[in-house]
Chains A and B, each alone.
Chain A
Amino acid sequence: MKPAPFDYHAPTTAEEAVALLAELGDTAKLIAGGQSLVPMLALRLAVFEHLVDLGRVENLRGIERVGDSLRVGATTTQSAVERSEVAADAVPLLARATPLIGHVQIRNRGTVGGSLAHADAAAEYPAVALALDAEMEVLSPTGRRTVASPDFFTGLWSTAVGDDELLTAVRFPVWSGRCGFAIREFARRHGDFAIAGAAVAVELDGDDRVRRGTIALFGLGPSAQRSDPAEAALGGAAVDDVDADELGQVAVASLDSVPSDLHGSSAYRRRVGAAMVADAWRAASEEARHG
């Protein structure tokens, strides 16, 4: 299997990369780690005349605590996140999601920005970004803008990043207080994309009531999504009054485009999704309560 021929560009600055995109239009595609793009090229599911490689753009890489956020450069590898004590300390959900991505050989090349920009419906990082209210830094030929995560994921494999724009970094807010975080997914084999999964973040007040609770689902629609009904059920509730299994049912009840394919029917995915929400809630709320 060989990709169709393409021209290769290796800019050394983000501005240069964006200028190339503006010049080449939709015949060009950015490549970072390439762990999703190269298989698509090899199978010729995607064909581009130009690839713009971000591998030599130095200032897109790195993990940094900036005030109440963890700023992760777009081409930071998933392995770098996995090894980062700063990330594990500031954003536990990000650290816990990372080992679920593919295999070690994939995480050594795959990048944080690449995963978010590819926006696979069953990928972990989009759900993490949604659950934590992450913000995306985007560079365009006319300047920089920030996109909130609910506005970032716009559908199947699509994001708010335009053809001439570049995702440069993600800012994950650092949650403080009595917090707990969990991500659960079910896949047939270790490293496969999940059949369904859920990420839960929760903050409790001093009386064990939910001050802030978010639930993001993946593998259960065209893109990762927050569950508004389940979050509404959590709002202000005493943690003891929340029935985890019921919460799972509420989270999947109103979903209207659950995928159905040879890996599982939509009814099956719904059941798996409900179980993942319930498990993630149990773990996250337990952590928030007892630390």
Chain B
Amino acid sequence: MGEIEIELRVNEAVTRSTVPPRLTLADFLRERCGLTGTHLGCEHGVCGACTVLLDGDAVRSCLVFAVQADGHDVTTIEGLDGPDGSLSPVQQAFRDHHGLQCGFCTPGFVVTAEAFLRDNPDPTDDQIREAVSGNLCRCTGYQGILAALRAAADAVET
């Protein structure tokens, strides 16, 4: 089965690679780019841990093949902080509100939240809950996560 040459932008850097078609975007990011912040929980589109931004949209990177991302723009959790390594407002809010315990689900939540708050800068609590309903936290630390999103939304607003 033939391998395919791809070129995409990952966290603003042009990245070229030759990949087997069955390689998922998640495995591409982790294994070829060394960006292991994107986590793989279920690998079939249920847990949300592998969420990345594809052309700005939050998607599950385990349900996209790397070949499908050829020519597109990908942002991972590693691409969200400032140039000096400072935390993004969402990341800071997760830290302030204990929005993580073991941390496994955190990259998926943070990436999902970044896109959600960009598109909905003034969300209701219900909208926040719905926005992260596709991300599972098995520590069940949801209250801290929701508090973090609320705080990040309020910080953006003011």
Whether A105 lies near B112 (C-beta < 8 A) is yes
Closest approach, in angstroms, between the C-beta of B8 and any C-beta of chain A?
13
Other-chain contact of B63, A6, A35, A189 (Cβ < 8 Å):
A35
Q: Quick one: CB contact mask for B4-42 with A, threshold 8 Å, 1 for yes?
A: 100000000000000011101001000000000000000
Residues of chain A having any CB pair with chain B under 8 Å: 1-8, 10, 31, 34-35, 38-39, 41-43, 51, 53, 55, 79, 102-106, 108-109, 189-191
Whether A190 lies near B43 (C-beta < 8 A) is no
Q: How far is the CA of A29 from the CA of B101 in the complex (A)?
A: 41
Whether B43 lies near A42 (C-beta < 8 A) is yes
> What are the residues of chain A within 8 A of B44 when measuring CB–CB?
1, 38-39, 42-43
> What are the residues of chain B within 8 A of A42 when measuring CB–CB?
43-44, 62
Which residues 66-112 of B sit at the A interface, judged by CB distance below 8 A?
67-68, 70, 112
Q: What is the total of A-B residue contacts with beta carbons within 8 Å?
A: 87
Closest approach, in angstroms, between the C-beta of B27 and any C-beta of chain A?
8
Q: What are 14 residue pairs bridging A and B, where the CB atoms are less than 8 Å apart in the complex?
A: A5-B22, A8-B67, A10-B67, A34-B64, A34-B65, A38-B44, A39-B45, A51-B21, A104-B131, A105-B59, A108-B57, A109-B54, A109-B60, A191-B133
| Contact flag A102-B2 (CB < 8 Å), given A5-B22, A42-B62 | no
Please report whether the interface of chain A is mostly helix, strand, loop or mixed according to DSSP: loop
Other-chain contact of B130, A5, A31, A55, A190 (Cβ < 8 Å):
A190
Whether A35 lies near B68 (C-beta < 8 A) is no
> What are the residues of chain A within 8 A of B48 when measuring CB–CB?
103, 105
Q: How big is the B interface, by class?
A: 20 to 34
B134 within 8 A of A: yes
Q: How far is the CA of A34 from the CA of B22 in the complex (A)?
A: 12
B145 within 8 A of A: no
Q: How far is the CA of A51 from the CA of B43 in the complex (A)?
A: 19
Closest approach, in angstroms, between the C-beta of B7 and any C-beta of chain A?
14
> What are the residues of chain A within 8 A of B63 when measuring CB–CB?
34-35, 38-39, 109
* Chain A residue, CB-CB nearest to B45: A39
Whether B68 lies near A6 (C-beta < 8 A) is no
Whether B45 lies near A38 (C-beta < 8 A) is yes
Q: How far is the CA of A106 from the CA of B112 in the complex (A)?
A: 12
Most chain B C-beta atoms within 10 Å of own C-beta, residue among A34, A38, A39, A43: A38
* Chain A residue, CB-CB nearest to B57: A108
Whether B21 lies near A7 (C-beta < 8 A) is yes
Closest approach, in angstroms, between the C-beta of A1 and any C-beta of chain B?
4
Closest approach, in angstroms, between the C-beta of B53 and any C-beta of chain A?
10
> What are the residues of chain B within 8 A of A51 when measuring CB–CB?
21
| Contact flag A104-B22 (CB < 8 Å), given A8-B67, A109-B64 | no
Closest approach, in angstroms, between the C-beta of B94 and any C-beta of chain A?
18
* Chain B residue, CB-CB nearest to A38: B63
* Chain B residue, CB-CB nearest to A8: B21
